[in-house]
Amino acid sequence: MNQPLPTPCNTGSTIRQRGQHEVFCGLTSIIWLHRKIPDAFFLVVGSRTCAHLIQSAAGVMIFSEPRFATAIMDERDLAGMADMHDELDEVVEKLLERRPEIRMLVLVGSCPSEVIKFDLGRAAERLNARYASRPRVLCYSGSGIETTFTQGEDNFLAALVRGLPGDIRSGRPAQLVVAGSLADVVEDQMARLLADLGIEDVVFLPGRSSDVLAPIGPQTRYVLAQPYLGATAAALESAGARRIDGIFPLGEEGTTAWLQAIATTFGVSASRFEAVTAAPRRRAREATAHYRPWIEGKRIFLFPDSQMEPSLARYLNRELDAEIIEVGSPYLHREHVAGELAMLPPGVSISEGQDVEVQIDRCRAARPDLIVCGMGLANPFEAQGLVTKWSIEFAFTPIQGYEQAGDLAELFARPLMRQGLLSGAAS
Ligand code: SF4
């Protein structure tokens, strides 16, 4: 059940961890980004390890009509760098001959040392000059040394904003940019709600086509749909846009607060807001209530993974009455998640970064009812009789917005339901 909004920050000090972490690298974000922008192609400049990661993470999609690939760079000394540029040009030439429909080519850097030494920005510039920006060539780093999987999206969106040609910026700017990859079904619902609120010239970033991105200027306001977009926010601000502050659109309360922040910025009347949101709010509350019996009172520990953890914890506590033990996040964009942290109940541990062994010990000692963690940690916990949920599912599943509130609750409820069935069968 919703509790009243607290004003001050409820949480104590943050546990800062600088040890080993267990999170997928930024290349993983290609899996949802390539679906989102059908005319883009993601070319990983990497090693055979990167190729294996992309192929296994993408599963069977690689055998159909892939829109991502890996240009494999074998080990070489510095003198071989010039050849690497030639090799990459050759790979790109063959790719574009075979796939002339590609409108945006994205070179994605990785972490093998020979790739780190390679100047991807220069390669993108050279390819843009060679193909006269048809396709437009962008680059960003998805390296596991610098990025976790959601930071890969952040780097890509920042490159997208920075790569806007000057003449696009000179036109009529967008009123509102919604930044952060959302499933198409969610984007459509959000677009409808914003249109019903009377907000025009709304641009979603990334868009579904490489060509469509309205100019961004000082009149533009932007709102983050995902909490992990520090670099994107900086790029938007350097283009003149100003951020609308708020919590993130997870659950009925989060979605209402997110829309309310936008509505207030654009001067939408309270009566119009109520008329537009009343029915979907009711549906979201009903869908959530269906799963509450499985989750209320349960003690939940969230390991750092997607950076969505503070929002998920707020939703679990306030809408599903779960007790939160610890909320980990690989990185906290404090300005962006201040509202989320303020809504957590007093006494919740917040941890930033990871020192995995120490955190596992804390988790075991707490004996939570549910652990939200990466795939690598889940199996050992399950083997010890603990119940887990893979946190990467929150990145792949449409969970934002009113109509997805029930699906979000179900993601948490399912492992607890399964546990209930198993223990019922055993007794
Ligand atoms: Fe591994 Fe680095 Fe390639 Fe990611 S970018 S698959 S961490 S080698």
Give the residue from 25, 24, 19 showing the smallest Cα distance to 351. 19
Based on the structure, what is the number of domains in the chain? Answer: 3
Are 257 and 306 in the same domain?
no
Are 234 and 261 in the same domain?
yes
Please check the confidence at residue 142 and state whether its pLDDT lies above 70: yes
Are 324 and 255 in the same domain?
no
Centre of ligand 1 from the C-alpha of residue 117, in Å: 15
Are 242 and 334 in the same domain?
no
More confident residue, 320 or 14: 320
Are 252 and 296 in the same domain?
no
> Is the residue at 156 inside a domain?
no
CA distance linking residue 295 with residue 321, whole number of Å: 7
DSSP states of 39-59 as a string?
Answer: TEEEEEEE-HHHHHHHHHHHG
Are 46 and 127 in the same domain?
yes
Token output for 377 = 């940690």
Has 139 been labeled as part of a binding site?
Answer: no
Name the least confident of 66-80, 105-119, 307-321, 323-337: 66-80
Centre of ligand 1 from the C-alpha of residue 112, in Å: 7
Give the residue from 375, 371, 367, 322 showing the smallest Cα distance to 344. 322
Residue 74 binned pLDDT confidence (cut-offs 50, 70, 90): low
- The predicted model scores a pTM of 0.90
Find the CATH number of the domain harbouring 61: 3.40.50.1980
Neighbours of 387 (CB within 10 A): 19
pLDDT of 61 reads 43
Q: What is the residue range of 122's domain? A: 26-147
Please check the confidence at residue 17 and state whether its pLDDT lies above 80: no
pLDDT of 159 reads 94
**Atom 7 of ligand 1: nearest residue by CA position:** 144
Centre of ligand 1 from the C-alpha of residue 50, in Å: 5
Q: Could you tell me the CA-to-CA distances from 170 to 178, 198, 235, 237, 382 in Å, in that order?
A: 20, 25, 17, 16, 55
Looking at ligand 1, which atom is closest to the CA of residue 144?
A: 7
> Is the residue at 348 inside a domain?
yes
> Is the residue at 67 inside a domain?
yes
Are 137 and 194 in the same domain?
no
Are 287 and 259 in the same domain?
no
Looking at ligand 1, which atom is closest to the CA of residue 26?
A: 4
Which residues line the pocket of ligand 1, CB cutoff 6 A? 25, 27, 46-47, 49-50, 53, 110-112, 142-144
**Atom 1 of ligand 1: nearest residue by CA position:** 50
Are 94 and 192 in the same domain?
no
Please check the confidence at residue 47 and state whether its pLDDT lies above 70: yes
Name the least confident of 106-115, 135-144, 270-279, 393-402: 106-115
More confident residue, 20 or 221: 221
Q: Which of 240, 265, 290 delimits the end of a domain?
A: 265
> Is the residue at 170 inside a domain?
no
Please check the confidence at residue 78 and state whether its pLDDT lies above 90: no
- Asked if 288 and 263 count as a contact pair (C-beta separation under 8 A), the reply is no
Mean pLDDT of 165-185: 77
- Asked if 234 and 316 count as a contact pair (C-beta separation under 8 A), the reply is no
> Is the residue at 34 inside a domain?
yes
Are 327 and 417 in the same domain?
yes
Predicted confidence (pLDDT) per residue in 303-335, tens digit? 999 999 999 999 999 999 999 999 999 888 889
Please check the confidence at residue 176 and state whether its pLDDT lies above 70: yes
Mean pLDDT of 98-112: 90
> Is the residue at 194 inside a domain?
yes
Q: Could you tell me the CA-to-CA distances from 357 to 21, 23, 146, 364, 374 in Å, in that order?
A: 9, 14, 21, 11, 14
- Asked if 95 and 43 count as a contact pair (C-beta separation under 8 A), the reply is yes
Are 48 and 123 in the same domain?
yes
Has 373 been labeled as part of a binding site?
Answer: no
Q: Could you tell me the CA-to-CA distances from 261 to 223, 225, 227, 337, 392 in Å, in that order?
A: 9, 12, 15, 14, 28
pLDDT > 90: percent of the chain: 59
Mean pLDDT of 69-95: 74
Token output for 130 = 């060679």
Give the residue from 139, 142, 159 showing the smallest Cα distance to 26. 142
> Is the residue at 193 inside a domain?
yes
CA distance linking residue 231 with residue 151, whole number of Å: 9
Has 50 been labeled as part of a binding site?
Answer: yes
Please check the confidence at residue 9 and state whether its pLDDT lies above 80: no
Instruction: Compute, in degrees rounded to 10, the torsion defined by CA atoms 36, 40, 46, 49.
Output: 40
pLDDT of 63 reads 39
Please check the confidence at residue 173 and state whether its pLDDT lies above 90: no
Are 308 and 373 in the same domain?
yes
Token output for 307 = 């950076």
Name the strand (E) or helix (H) holding 246.
Answer: none
Instruction: Compute, in degrees rounded to 10, the torsion defined by CA atoms 254, 259, 261, 264.
Output: -150
Predicted confidence (pLDDT) per residue in 247-282, tens digit? 999 999 999 999 999 999 999 999 999 999 999 999
Amino acid at residue number 220: T
Please check the confidence at residue 91 and state whether its pLDDT lies above 80: yes
> Is the residue at 181 inside a domain?
yes
Give the residue from 342, 391, 346, 393 showing the smallest Cα distance to 370. 391
Length of the chain in residues, anyone? Answer: 427
pLDDT of 174 reads 84
- Asked if 348 and 16 count as a contact pair (C-beta separation under 8 A), the reply is no
